Amino acid sequence: MRIHVLTLFPNLFDGFLDESIVRIAQEKKALEIDLVDFREFATDRHRKVDDRPFGGGPGMLLMPDPIVRAIEDLEHRIGPTHRVMLTPSGTPLSQETIGRLARLPELTLLCGRYEGFDERIRDVLTWEEISIGDYVVSGGEVPAMVVIDAVARLLPGVLGDADSAAQDSFQNGLLDFPQYTRPRVYRGIEVPEVLLSGDHRKIETWRREQAIERTKERARRLGRVVPGQGDATDATTESCDGR
């Protein structure tokens, strides 16, 4: 998979791309990251990419031409890509969305800055708009890193254990179950006896029950309707949105 990131600050990605799962994904040739500085597509001698909004107001807006030209140049070279605009007005990111993005051969992420985008960036090009939550950060680079990291985990061969991703929170609509390691007793708190029983069927049943209960508790905290006592899908499908 190849992810193209349109950003004014490509150096922000230096440490992120060289560490942990994202580094492993690149080393295994499962993931390639292409950083595109769309300031390079500004046409004036000052390489200007932003300007004041018509009608007044604080801050600056990203101008349409550098971004549109950057996309057109990219897709002229490699063909169509799935375009994602990272914006607070987008659909909340979910594990389901990450799974869909991870199956794409080419993905383009657009990182905003300043007060946002000139609306004609949306009008001229087609985007999927995604938000990582109901809050504001200084630009789209951190949200892009979130998407890249989450996608990298799902690429074949990246994780050492293929079951690791399958057991992550939000897979099948469930949060992860409680887990324990040594010591057996820590500050008076003991590991649940069932995990020491060696009975794998009982352990799987306990883990599933705990995952369902933890998911329901999260739904209650968020003020959502908690479905009845059906199976895991019945109990949790509407309770997790990935934020």
- Tell me the catalytic residues: 88, 115, 153, 168
**By CB neighbour count within 10 A (0-12 exposed, 13-18 middle, 19+ buried), where does 102 fall?**
buried
- Where in 12-144 does DSSP place strands (E)? 32-37, 50-51, 61-62, 82-92, 106-111, 128-131
Torsion angle (degrees, nearest 10) of CA 215, 219, 221, 222: 140
CA 47 vs CA 40, 41, 50, 114: distances in Å? 7, 8, 9, 16
| Number of residues in the chain | 243
- Where in the chain does DSSP place strands (E)? 2-7, 32-37, 50-51, 61-62, 82-92, 106-111, 128-131, 185-186, 189-190
